[in-house]
Structure 1
Amino acid sequence: MTINPMLQPDPTLFLSLTDDVFDSAKLIEQATNWQEKYRQIMLLGKKLPNLAEAFRHEGAQVKGCESQAWLYHQQIDGQHFYLADSDARIVKGLIGLLLVATQGRTSREISQFDIALYFEHLGLNGQLSPSRTNGLHALAQAIKSYATETN
């Protein structure tokens, strides 16, 4: 996907995730019931930066999501970094989980990423609606596509 460079976020925004984001992902994994996992997912979404309105355009939207979701990619020294946002808080938290698994990884690592296995490990399989699951798979596929297109 080609995005007008004038509509691309500044490369300095594509940074590693904070320890706080990784800690939130661990809390989701450790939560013992769906209500607590859901709450932690929502809190994780709040820890991710919001995309400026100028970057919430159709060219950056991930197709297949019930909610609106935007994704940007930057490759730096063989590692892939993403900026993503959604208009739905739960989706933004789920995006955060995807970023924890893929941010700063190589093309090979991202191509081997198994979203179903990852969400099973987190205890989220069967907890999300089919449309939410489809959207999540669309986001994961977009992340993989960016990582493989740049090689």
Structure 2
Amino acid sequence: MASAAFEEIVEDFEFLDDWEDRYATVIDMGKSMPPMEEALKVPATKVEGCASQVWLQPVIDGGEFRFIGDSDAMIVRGLIAVLAALYNGLPVAEVATVDAHAELARLGLNEHLSSQRSNGVRAMVERIRHHASEAA
């Protein structure tokens, strides 16, 4: 079960035939994200298991899950934006029901990311699920 924002990305990707166009779109998504405040880039928000520097900060409001994030790598910022589209706005209890691997496969991302990037995405998803389960 994906959010409407994620479904929009899926629709956009259906019109992009080659991986380079999809890659560029993911990077553009990362560029359009607001930067994370430097004060939030602390060890407690850092995601271990990523080749790049990655920070995720959950924001739970009225039972709704959101997170903000940042990375020092543009493609990873884009992947954070994709994950935000997938998870942000969902009820906290629904976060754990999202099959991120299957949803990202709909974008063709799984087959084109390096193993290090794939491991990083898994680490980000685990962190997101952890925060949601703590809040539930």
Structure 1: tracts of 5 or more residues without a match: 1-18
The percentage of aligned residue pairs carrying the same residue is 32
The size of the alignment, in residue pairs, is 133
1:60-85 deviation line (CA, Å, top 9, x unaligned): 10111110010111211110111111
| Larger RCO of the pair (alpha carbons < 8 Å, separation 6+) | 2
| Range with bigger deviation, 73-82 or 35-44 | 73-82
C-alpha distance in 2, partners of 1:46/1:22? Answer: 20
Give 2:79's aligned amino acid.
L
Provide the aligned C-alpha RMSD in A.
2.0
Give TM-score scaled by structure 2 length.
0.89
1:112 pairs with one of 93, 97, 100: 97
Give TM-score scaled by structure 1 length.
0.81
Structure 2: tracts of 5 or more residues without a match: none
Q: Which residue of structure 2 lines up, in the alignment, with residue 8 of structure 1? A: none
Partner SS for 1:58: coil
C-alpha distance in 2, partners of 1:40/1:88? Answer: 15
Give 1:121's aligned amino acid.
R
| Range with bigger deviation, 117-126 or 134-143 | 117-126
Structure 1 ranges of 4+ moved more than 2 A:
19-30
1:28-82 deviation line (CA, Å, top 9, x unaligned): 3531110000000000001111112222122210111110010111211110111
